[in-house]
Amino acid sequence: MKTNKPKIAIFGAGIAGLSCAYFLKNDGYDVTVYEKRPGVGGRFATFETEGVYINKGALMYAPRLNPHFASLINELGIESEQLTLSRFALIIGNKITALNNFAMFKSGLFSLFDYLKWLKLKRFIRRLDFRLDSYDVRLEELHQYSLQEFCEKKMGFNKKLIDYIVQPFSSFGYIDPPYIAADHGLFLFAYGDTELRVPIKGMSAVTDELYNRLKGSVKLNTVVKEVEKNKKGFAVVLEEKKKSTPVKKNFDYCIFAT
């Protein structure tokens, strides 16, 4: 389809790059996605074993916390199912404890005082607004703390609560409590107190469907060697697998989604 709209190169065929390309192409833009790997997905990669789909990166989504992503899944017609935290558990020694209020209270791992601190944190999180299309000034203040600092200084968490409560939730973001900002960390905590869903065929069902809808606009096995700004836009040097000579292509804009 010929268009007078700008030509755009997107680097990276994960969820960010593919969803960006999908919406831009639907609006009539000339978009090409370049991915160095032989397949799409990135952190949304999934593999199947004996009929079970196992997500390598992103595990789930929360419609209340991720309304735009939930809208995209509905638009793509991807089937999903609800998850409950009874499926998530801590293994401490030889004991398994589900990550829900009742199981944690019965576990004997925490004192009543510890449990009340946990409930206090959950009440605080429920009052926060994490939606991207709104602005909660409290999140800006929280960003000044690490998740561990906030839980220790503002909520009075001890080491046991940090190790057995804070650490598991921060692991959803693949980062330890001292190294994640409190606003981001509490966003991960919020997943424990809202509806959770997962595509039936794994998170890669989303990126696979986006790839199918983008048709020939995604170039796999292509390494971006150089991006140079010029008067007309950007010159991009690309190295395609099985081709000995790099090629140079011109674009009006480039989007890095790696």
For 214-244, how does the pLDDT look when each residue is reduced to its tens digit (9 = 90+)?
Answer: 989 999 999 999 999 999 999 999 999 888 8
Give which of 113, 175, 117 is closest to 146, Cα–Cα.
Answer: 175
What value does the mean pLDDT take over residues 206-213? 97
Give the other-Cβ count within 10 Å of 109's Cβ.
Answer: 17
pTM (global) more than 0.75: yes
**C-alpha to C-alpha distances, 92 to 89, 98, 111, 166, nearest whole angstrom:** 10, 11, 16, 15
What pLDDT is stored for residue 77 in this prediction? Answer: 98
Cα angle 239, 242, 244 (rounded to 5 degrees) comes to 60
**138-150 b/e (C-beta count within 10 Å ≥ 16 → b):** ebeebeebbbbeb
What pLDDT is stored for residue 87 in this prediction? Answer: 62
The mean-pLDDT minimum among 35-49, 87-101, 114-128 falls in 87-101
Cα distance between residue 141 and residue 180, in whole Å: 14
- Where do the structural domains in the chain lie, given as residue ranges? 7-50+203-256, 59-199
What value does the mean pLDDT take over residues 25-44? 95
Taking the CA atoms of residue 96, residue 99, residue 100 and residue 104 in that order, the dihedral angle to the nearest 10 degrees is 50
The mean-pLDDT minimum among 67-71, 78-82, 99-103, 222-226 falls in 99-103
Q: Name which residue leads in pLDDT, 62 or 105.
A: 62
Kindly state the DSSP code that residue 127 receives in the 8-state scheme. T
CATH architecture of the domain formed by 7-50+203-256:
3-Layer(bba) Sandwich (3.50)
What pLDDT is stored for residue 56 in this prediction? Answer: 82
* 111-117, long-range: CB < 8 A, 24+ apart: 114/158, 114/160, 114/161, 117/155, 117/156, 117/157, 117/161
The mean-pLDDT minimum among 132-146, 161-175, 238-252 falls in 161-175
What value does the mean pLDDT take over residues 176-182? 96
